[in-house]
Amino acid sequence: MRLEEDCVGKLEVEDDALYGIHSLRAATNFPITKEKVDPLVIESYIQLKKASVTANYDANAIDVIKYNMIVEACDYLLEHHHLESFITPAIQGGAGTSTNMNVNEVIANVAMRLHPEIKIHPNDDVNQAQSTNDTYPTAGKMAMLKRLPKLTGEINRLIETLDGLAKQFKFTIKLGRTQLQDAVPTTFGKSFHAYASLFRRDLKRINQASEELKSISMGGTAIGTGTNTTKYYREHIVDEINKITNMGLKQDTDLIDAIQNTDHFVAFSSSLKTLAVDLSKFSNDLRLLGSGPQSGLNELLLPKRQAGSSIMPNKVNPVIPEVVNQVAFEVIGFDATVTAASEAGQLELNAFEPIMFKSILTAEIHLANAITTLVDNCLVGIDVNVDQCLDDVRKSAVTATVLSPILGYNKTTELIKRATKEHDTVPHLLIQNNILSADKVKQLFSPEYLVNGNE
């Protein structure tokens, strides 16, 4: 064991541990969850440390030996990871200071193990010209941006799949429904196209919100004033980060605002929540349209994925839409957490970014995975019960809506009431009572006319 000391006191740390006293205190103080800080946050933090020491070296603020040692340690960790050494819990007090110090300690200890003859201090050397308050939100934004391509890729795949279904079922007529009551006919082609349009908007919204994450607070240190930095460092730190990451980041024009306010996280989280809401609504529709098969709508035939009951033989449930619903509920809750955490910030700093990062980064993973299974295990292989849909259209008196421009609203209403009461069809009543010719009735109630009107 080795004995380390901080402003609180002394503590024994395992000899072979790469972390130090600050990390160990955090692991003890925050036994909320076994989940550690997201690996992408750690990776981004190490990249920030490498960029910072480079900017400090170019500003003649650190000697060449320490510069090379810290860069070598960062490169080693980026290659070998050593995630077991990053022990701070994902939910933590201190506005992320524990995570920053964990990274500082590990880099310093790796550097000294590679070169035992030179002392590297976690604060004075690794954390030079930095604060948790500018590095932590920057590392969080970088992690969110790194995680985004998988999610946007899955959204694109969802859109492409829906576009394919729209073409496949372009002329498959079905009964429209408003407020769960019969409405005028449409086609599954139009329905699937509408869903694709919905998720195109979601993709655009997420991409727009993510652009705000590229504006970072590096160089602001504690509260945005740049305390303990050089002018050269402030002007070049973001360039150094971009050289390492190629992420196209930019320094915020108002660093005080960038550190104390977290509306960019709220906006990004909100875009994820909106996607979750839309995925849940879509899943609700899939479950409803596939309900039955004997006593439900039975219009969509969802792929059978697993037995649905331990007591009812041959029962199959819509498990894929159900799991997507549950992910959506979770993400909506994450967004509420981010909103509350952002609102709770005070004066020059928000102390609650750790729970924001955990919520948003988890939401990105779960949404991407939910869309993956939705596409692969539900939409691919989905089919339409064409006979059921056509029968519903023929039986529904509401299809007589096409008569309103010809017979008027009131007379059409009377025909619909009579057809419903007598269990007859409106086309039959029209011909039987010589209201319209058989040819005209055939034209008006053809699938093409019912869907497209007089185009």
Q: Which of 85, 280, 283, 309 is catalytic?
A: 309
3-state secondary structure of 91: coil
How far from chain centre, in Å, is Cα 99? 24
Asked if residue 175 lies in contact with residue 392, where contact means CB atoms within 8 angstroms, the answer is: yes
* DSSP annotation of 402: G
Asked if residue 303 lies in contact with residue 296, where contact means CB atoms within 8 angstroms, the answer is: no
List Cα–Cα distances, 35 to 88, 89, 247, 358, in angstroms.
Answer: 9, 6, 27, 9
Residue type for position 367: L
CA distance 51 to 391: 67
CA distance 388 to 297: 8
Q: Is 309 a catalytic residue?
A: yes
Q: β-strands 10-13, 181-187: how paired? A: unpaired
DSSP state string for 22-76: HHHHHHHH-TT-SPBSPHHHHHHHHHHHHHHHHHHHHTT-S-HHHHHHHHHHHHH
> 58-62 — which CB contacts under 8 Å span 24+ positions?
58/232, 58/236, 59/230, 59/232, 59/233, 59/236, 61/128, 61/129, 61/230, 61/233, 62/125, 62/128
Structure tokens at 178: 């408003």
Measured in degrees and rounded to the nearest 5, phi and psi for residue 10 equal: -110, 155
Asked if residue 168 lies in contact with residue 385, where contact means CB atoms within 8 angstroms, the answer is: no
CA distance 59 to 55: 6
- In 3-state terms the chain splits into helix, strand, coil percentages (rounded to 5) of 65, 10, 30
CA distance 144 to 360: 8
CA distance 73 to 81: 11
List Cα–Cα distances, 42 to 48, 151, 358, 367, in angstroms.
Answer: 10, 20, 13, 22
CA distance 191 to 172: 10
Q: What are the residue numbers of the active site?
A: 309
